[in-house]
Structure 1
């Protein structure tokens, strides 16, 4: 008998098939960026099937000019679906429309102006397989702002609710999220559609995900995140104040974490400064100082409240450093 006849069974015959991943891509009026995002999703070097669900918010679905064929370099089947957001207008409703329509065992998010790097899914699915107790995994990002690319690495350790109360951990960006769909629906819950303006919906979702079993991250940048000179939320200060107040009311345990509550109070101070309400800005900054005088945002808010530096100048300087306010 030949040696090949008695060789052990091949790994392909014994290995469980790679799970189907449904990728939810909310979009609104950015066709060229959307095409780039969808191309990167369908071109992933991943052996399993990928279902890309593009959800058009406040507009009718339109086809994206990309190929969905399986190739030797990408791996499993690729399908592309188009839906219209039939829930609350905005990002949260669009994400939920896609989540509820998804058929995959795993659900991923990708914003229409972000771009996955080729090995993103494979690395994350492998991490999930190594940690069956973990419902959600993330990865590092590359922040692209103007002519600068700033890598931001996610922490290389399990992250729990206390971590997210203390810090937003912006490296755990929504476009890096890969979550077990069953846990999402049963224990985490859909994205909150009641947050004013949808501001911070991703952060609020992560607080609940961290509480439902924790979050892990691949310790390398796997998503390119585009920061615009003027974001969708820039200068919508009243809405931002309402959203931050909503977050504190929904999650009162922020008040048990001085560093975390100081961060939110400093953000409120900055938003009041952006609105031109300098007395309120200083009051919020004072509360932030009492909780954590090391919180840098409170000094940015105080600087803005003096009129010596414009609010948008401070935001632009922070973005050039790969940081947000």
Structure 2
């Protein structure tokens, strides 16, 4: 068997149905199945269902599929590192187990790599767009669900749709496994840029991201995971330019502090002060009342934002980076 031209790496855990949809999409790629391999690392799924899905796909023989398994959960960074280090192709494409690549995904990544005309092909980061899965969005996008949009120029280098030359991964050492559940993708992308890599946009390499139901507690817990993010900002000064007003992680955080400032000014009277309060507090009020959770869930939206701000703040103190 000839060596593949691209290796697809997928970390997975306890998502048998979504993993099946992903593998089905890989079987339907326009790129010849003999030209790519798929490496799935099961990060200690609790039940047997993901294994059954993988065994069934392997038995079909359509995909060049290799499966790695962990006995205990180690996190996505560890799973991706273990997988790409077994890759045989010069290009490693990463996708997550809650995604469905479009049929031309791999072909479009390779075309973009060729068309970039780089003097050193190994100094490249290939990125493509991510949009919510139309089979699930918007009708399943409720108040406790999440999905993903990625457009050209975003600074986070999400692993839902990204590819690195294997030589560059070896040079950089792969993902930082100390960033257990967040920030490892952004960190790797920025280390690649700092090493001289060019970002190549593959606009036709579309990946659809599922609408993941988290539940109310799951959505709150997700906010606390962002405590790892300030470590990435501390390492990469260029990334800090992406902060809102040089300090806020995103517009919602800026709006929240504007709302708090409006509360502090509530005893100030007069038309001018009313205007000031509305100017600084209005954006967050609109977020609470017009967000998809609806006005009845405004206290829950506030709780989510406070947890997220607390997580960023805790990480900022730990890593001595001014952000919130």
- With normalisation by structure 2, the TM-score equals 0.65
Question: Offset at 1:303?
Answer: 5.5
The equivalent position to 1:51 in structure 2, one of 31, 37, 54, is 37
Q: Distance in 1 between matches of 2:297 and 2:202?
A: 41
Say if 1:55 and 1:95, in contact at 8 Å, map to a contact too: yes
The equivalent position to 2:182 in structure 1, one of 173, 180, 199, is 199
Say if 1:137 and 1:217, in contact at 8 Å, map to a contact too: yes
Q: Distance in 2 between matches of 1:62 and 1:257?
A: 40
Task: Structure 2: give runs of 5+ residues left out of the alignment.
Answer: 142-146, 262-278, 290-295, 306-324
**Counterpart residue number, 1:25:** 10
The equivalent position to 1:310 in structure 2, one of 299, 302, 305, is 299
Question: Offset at 1:265?
Answer: 6.6
Q: Distance in 2 between matches of 1:83 and 1:189?
A: 20
Report the CA distance shift for 1:151/1:86 in structure 2 as closer, same or farther (over 3 A).
closer
1:207-226 correspondence to structure 2 within 5 Å: 207-211=190-194, 212-220=196-204, 222-226=206-210
Q: Once superposed, which parts of structure 1, at least 4 consecutive aligned residues long, lie more than 6 Å away?
A: 148-151, 267-270, 313-316
Q: Distance in 2 between matches of 1:300 and 1:58?
A: 42
Q: CA offsets, 1:84-125, max 9 Å, x none?
A: 248971111111111111111110111111111111111110
**Counterpart residue number, 1:140:** 129
1:1-325 correspondence to structure 2 within 5 Å: 20-47=5-32, 49-59=35-45, 62-63=51-52, 64=54, 65-66=56-57, 69=61, 78-85=63-70, 89-133=74-118, 134-144=123-133, 145-147=137-139, 154-155=151-152, 164=155, 168=156, 173-186=158-171, 188-195=172-179, 197-211=180-194, 212-220=196-204, 222-230=206-214, 234-236=219-221, 239-255=224-240, 259=244, 261-264=246-249, 299=284, 309-312=298-301
**Number of matched pairs:** 260
Say if 1:140 and 1:151, in contact at 8 Å, map to a contact too: no
Q: CA offsets, 1:152-179, max 9 Å, x none?
A: 5733xxx6xxx73xxx4xxx54121122
Say if 1:36 and 1:115, in contact at 8 Å, map to a contact too: yes
- With normalisation by structure 1, the TM-score equals 0.65
Report the CA distance shift for 1:19/1:192 in structure 2 as closer, same or farther (over 3 A).
same
Question: Offset at 1:229?
Answer: 3.0
Using the TM superposition, name which of 97-106 and 246-255 deviates more.
246-255
